[in-house]
Structure 1
Amino acid sequence: MLGIWDYLVIGLYLLFTMSIGFVCRKIAHNASDFFRGGGNMLWWMTGMSGIASGLSAWTFTAAACRVYEMGFLMLILYWLWLPAYLIIFFFLARRYRQMRVITVAEGIRRRYGRFTEQFWIWVQIPANMMIGAMWLMTVSIFMSAAVGVPLNLCILILGIVVTCVSLGAGAWSVIASDFVQMTIIIVGTITVLIRTLMLPEIGGLPGLMEKIPAEFTNFNMVEAPSVWIAFLGLSMVMRIMQASDLSQEGAKFLSVKDGGQAKKSTLVIATGSIFIPIVAFLPVMACSVIYPDLAQVFPDMPNPTEGSYMAIAAHVLPTGMVGLIVCAMFAASISSMDTALNRNAGFCVRNFYIEFIKPNASEKEQLLMGRIFTVILAVALIILATTLANNREIGLFEFSNLVFSLVIPPMVVPAVFGFVYKKTPVWSGWSTVVVGFCAAFFAKFYISIDAAGKYIWGLDEMNKMEHGDVTFIVITAFTLMCSISWFFFSSLFYKRVTPGHRESIEALFKDMRTPIDHVAEKSENRDAAQYHIVGSLNLILGSLLMCGFLIPNSLGGRMVFIYCGGVVAGIGGILLTIYKKKVAAEQG
């Protein structure tokens, strides 16, 4: 499937990605720069980074597997993310940025106190590591099959690349990398979509709609309607919670320049949630027409349908460009992995090292410790991903749903509701997490999924897909209900809150209502630097892509490289033009 030119493209791309951390290294001057980009990131940077956080290799493997089996169901699932971003736009984005904290744990301390802060980080760190390891495992399983590299070696190589990105300038290099990676993902997936629809055996979008299996639009043929409807509904609720969760994707808003820019970045993410699934999933539906039996294409993959996107990409793209798509899938996972490293390093330095070991640590020392903790956590991430990959017994879609149903709900409730509802006591944060994990444990080991399917959904027997979805629904719904009920039950004890803690909560909520004043708060203007760094990276990457014109291909194949590289370089040129105008305005 891959040739020597594809391997060359992959190698060069990985080297380029590793260099991003080196390029950005000098821009991080203090802990705030390293852990949240100094709170000065522009809306288009954080917006693209937010889209990257919502994507991963999971989109092109596990989700593509479900698209290959049920078609438009996954498109609808992704479109149901839109309400989450509308809620964030109208109610949360501005409030989150105006908390004026460097790490999420500092916000937890202001809301719930110091004990909950420490409890939180030592629960959050392994949770983030589990999620980051899952993404690393996912992309490594795919790239191992596509490239032919042993799985454990693939995990090691990709883990090193992610570490290099995070080491350079922390959040600065992470967000800059996200923007560059997203340009590749967007250009690459659009190219695959166009060339797929141009295939004679597909016949454009009308032809595709005529040829796709009936179950792609009639989901009842694959799964009981009561199951897939409940799955979509609960997935939408979880997406609202996860996107609003300050310990997960909501943390992006701590990095943006001010409340207004936070709202703009939300619109970028919302737009991406509408269009990205279309360009990513329509080729997979076409793959079901071209390759009705993927076991013949990927005989060594335990779940061949997880390679459906790669199969159609290899079918339509010229030599060398297939390697770029492999890189795009890796790029889709970088954000989740390097964000997990950067966020955990922030917890270790800001909420542990300077709290208990060296309270007077200088900014330079905090930067050094941030990089040291990043390396330590990266080693742990690689080991954990290797362990998960070698002991996985179910498909990626089912595995990821199981991880999310067990890990996310207990953490998300106090991290969302605690910043919109203030009348709960200091212990409501940590106790809700404990209750949530107990509920998740009980649901996983003591609630019979077969019995739930029979008595709730009326299914005497369930197929593999129904069993996986019912498992996700039961564990997630039970955990959420217990966690939310306990959190609001604790409000009955709010009257016993100490005056000091009540003042802390009131001060936090006052800050969240107060707009950022850049002059009074002495914010450093880094706008020009962002245009310069990201513009230069895009220009370099686009120029390298256009060199793919020299790879032996048909004229049409060569022009694909000119188109992709030209678009990426063009974006870089636009950003550099804006940079020059800003520099001229500042000097004038």
Structure 2
Amino acid sequence: MQLATIDYIIIIGFFIISLLIGVWVSKQAGKSSESFFLSGRNMPWWLLGVSMVATTFAADTPGLVTQLVRENGVSGNWVWWAMLLTGMLTVFFYAKLWRKSGITTDLEFYELRYSGKAAGFLRGFRAIYLGIIFNVITMAGVCLAGAKIANILLGIDQNTMLLISGIIVVIYSSLGGLKGVLITDFIQFIIAMIGSIWATIYIVSLPEVGGLENLLAQPEVSTKLNILPDFSNTETLITLFIIPFAVQWWSTWYPGAEPGGGGYIAQRMLAAKNEKHATWATLFFNFAHYALRPWPWIIVGLASLVLFPQLSNLNSAFPNLTSSMQGHDVAYAAMMTYLPAGLIGIVLTSLIAAFMSTISTQLNWGSSYIVNDFYSRFMKPNSTEKEKVLVGRISTVVLMILAGFLSKYINDAKEVFTLLLQIGAGTGLLYILRWFWNRINPYSEIAAMAISFVIAFVFFINGKMDNPMFDLAGHWQLIIGVTITTLGWLLVTLITKPTDKETLDSFEEKIFEGKHKFQNIGYKIVAFLIGTIGVYSFLFATGNFIYGKIFLAFGLSGLTLICGLFLIKNWKKIS
């Protein structure tokens, strides 16, 4: 499609602002590694919360939601909606603990909680495992989604897109550190929300769609509207509802939804002014991520079924897409081609912003592991602060190059989502319990990480073979991974010695301040349940307003309000 002058002005203007922010904060970010990776630990909850939301709004996120809606209807989103439980667990049980730890990265936790050479090995190995391998896989999925969007909306190939966007995001990420990322995230989130909502309103009003009421009445759409899965369809019920709620949320490690917190979510909690700001930031993130943001993408996904009812319609409409880039996830970008000048510039900028927000966060987070938990811990313990910042900036460039290269060997957003879930399958329970169960030791974590990775690798390679050795549905692969990994690390935990008492006492004194570690546990459990109900109520209320079920929508809105008032009234007891 052809962009107008106003579209180019909007896009170029956004690039210039992003670069200027990086230059503006570069001097302060370069003072020390703590300034570069944690912004001096003085960030407010609202900025951190918005940054968390902006990071999880990657370029591949609208495509993933669209793909889920096209394949399984609105209820297909339960594969990620169920992770709200993971997020709420972090809010009420772990956000405060992370900020209390005073560490620079969540991997530094290992030598705070464990002792001996095994703890050091775990920290260093996991820095490479997460900071490079896991991180690059995540970014590769985002790069692929960005390439698909660029191909459809701009007509440029994958290499050109990666070169242009990669250079820009690397410059401002390496200059501004986390503070630069947080400020650009805030701007990017506003642009992204305006773009996605405005685009949705325009698309619904297209003559081909005929308005919201007509859209919901279309035969291709009406069967996809149920928010809850079809309970009469056993396979769908197991895949979309039972496994996510019974197994997935507590047992898998996934970026942005780590049981007990971790990754870039932990990085932002550690950068907060205090424990209260860390908790509120995480609470806002979970509300906005699960309840505030999904419906514009869902509606566009439903509308795409009217204009492109089959995958073949998408493929024929965009013949320049290579076979490896074809899939239902391109439907979101395909629908954006119907937007007029000006609006397409805003939407395209919002998608670019989503891409840059996620990539910049992943780069800063990944380089923090490389610098703090590998380079300065093992390679050069006496390195100066300037050296650490320099290594952080170099690793930022290298990570971007690796992600762009890997993006050529994956197919769609759902494949990356499934792969990351499988790699983290079975490790979640360990991350939940390690703060409270003293028996867990470094060998528990090493076993969990090794077993889950081997199982995920076997399943991934088998799926790529022309003649697979076995044919097993994805949800059963997840169950097998969770079962074997969980039993494996539990066995290792029971046959190995726990961390020495001196280290455990020091850890508990620092984190729990000598108080009982299960203090106010009843209030925290109730808050966890109330918070979860409140967010789901808002999510369902929005959907029912869209569907025209006003009475039910107002009832759910009232339930959201009651849940919010309960949390506010009992906040001191909860926290």
Please give the residue correspondences for 1:557-572 in structure 2 after superposition, counting only pairs within 5 Å.
none
1:443/1:203 CA distance change after superposition, 3 Å: closer
The reply on whether 1:298 has 2:318 as its aligned counterpart is: yes
2:197 maps to 1:190: yes
**AA in 2 matched with 1:84:** T
1:287 correspondence with 2:304: yes
Structure 1 position 21, deviation (Å): 1.4
Sort the Cα spacing of 1:8 and 1:362 in 2 relative to 1 into closer, same or farther, 3 A: same
Contact 1:47 1:268 (C-alpha < 8 Å) held by counterparts? yes
* RMSD of aligned Cα (Å): 3.0
Structure 2, unaligned stretches of length 5 or more? 515-575
Q: Residue 455 of structure 2 aligns with which residue? A: 439
Which residue type is aligned with residue 25 of structure 2? C
The equivalences for 1:105-504 within 5 A come to: 105-112=107-114, 113-124=119-130, 125-199=132-206, 202-211=209-218, 213=220, 214-217=222-225, 225-227=234-236, 229-235=238-244, 237-239=247-249, 241-242=253-254, 243-244=257-258, 245-247=261-263, 249-272=265-288, 273-292=290-309, 293-301=313-321, 302=323, 303=326, 305-315=328-338, 317-382=339-404, 384-385=405-406, 388-389=407-408, 391-392=409-410, 395-409=411-425, 414-444=430-460, 470-471=473-474, 473-493=475-495, 496-497=497-498, 499=500, 502-504=501-503
Q: Given the superposition, is the C-alpha separation of residues 446 and 137 from structure 1 closer, same or farther in structure 2, using an over 3 Å criterion? A: closer
Deviation at 1:450, TM superposition (A): 9.5
- Partner SS for 1:427: helix
Alignment partners' CA distance in 1, 2:316 and 2:129:
43
What is the deviation of 1:118?
1.5
Aligned to 1:19: 20
**Normalization by structure 2: what TM-score?**
0.77
Instruction: Provide the rounded CA distance (Å) in 2 between the counterparts of 1:197 and 1:444.
Output: 38
CA shift at 1:396, angstroms? 0.7
* 1:16-55: CA deviation from partner (whole Å, max 9, x where unpaired): 3233311221232321111122222211111111112322
Give the structure 2 partner of residue 86 of structure 1: 88
Contact map agreement 1:42 1:256 (CA 8 A) in 2: yes
1:418-474 Cα shifts (integer Å, max 9, x gaps): 234332233222122112223334445679989666xxxxxxxxxxxxxxxx22x23
Q: 1:295 to 1:380 in 2, by over 3 A?
A: closer
Residue pair 1:440, 1:478 contacting (<8 A) in 2 also: no
Letter in 2 for 1:122: I
The one-letter code matched in structure 2 to 1:123 is Y
Match of 2:509 in 1: 510
Contact 2:78/2:240, CA 8 A, preserved across alignment:
no
Which string of whole-angstrom CA distances, capped at 9 and with x for unpartnered residues, describes residues 337-388 of structure 1? 2222212222222223322343233323322332233233333333x33xx3
Contact in 2 for aligned 1:212/1:286 (Cα 8 Å): no
Flag the 1:381–1:199 CA change in 2: closer, same or farther, 3 A: closer
What amino acid is aligned across from residue 329 of structure 2 in structure 1? E
Q: Is the 8 A contact 1:165 1:173 kept in 2?
A: yes
**Structure 1 residues 76 and 403 mapped into 2: Cα distance closer, same or farther (>3 Å)?**
closer
Q: Deviations over 1:271-322 (max 9, x none)?
A: 211121112221221232244333453232342643322333332x330321
1:103 aligns with 105
Indicate how the Cα distance of structure 1 residues 442 and 420 shifts in structure 2: closer, same or farther if over 3 A, else same: farther
* Matched letter for residue 325 of structure 1: V
Q: Give the Å deviation of 1:183.
A: 0.7
Does structure 2 conserve the Cα–Cα contact (< 8 Å) formed by 1:78 and 1:277? no
- CA gap 1:16/1:2 in 2 versus in 1, 3 angstroms: farther
Offset of 1:247 from its aligned partner?
3.2
Q: CA deviation at 1:182?
A: 0.7
In the alignment, the residues of structure 1 paired with residue 264 and residue 9 of structure 2 have an alpha-carbon distance, to the nearest angstrom, of: 35
| Number of the residue aligned with 2:532 | none
Tell me how far 1:59 sits from its aligned partner.
Answer: 1.7
Instruction: Label 1:76 to 1:121 Cα distance change in 2 as closer, same or farther (>3 A).
Output: closer
| 2:426–2:481 contact (8 Å) kept in structure 1 | yes
Structure 1 gaps of 5+ residues are 454-469, 516-588
Asked if structure 2 preserves the Cα contact closer than 8 Å seen for 1:71 and 1:215, the reply is yes
- Contact preservation (8 Å) 2:73, 2:223: yes
Q: In the superposition, relative to structure 1, how do residues 374 and 397 fare at CA in structure 2: closer, same or farther (>3 Å)?
A: closer
Which whole-Å CA distance do the structure 2 matches of 1:475 and 1:248 have between them? 27
Aligned-residue sequence identity (percent) comes to: 23
CA distance in structure 1 between the aligned counterparts of 2:150 and 2:74, rounded to whole angstroms: 26
Deviation of 1:239 after TM superposition, in Å, equals 4.9
Query: How many pairs were matched up?
Result: 487
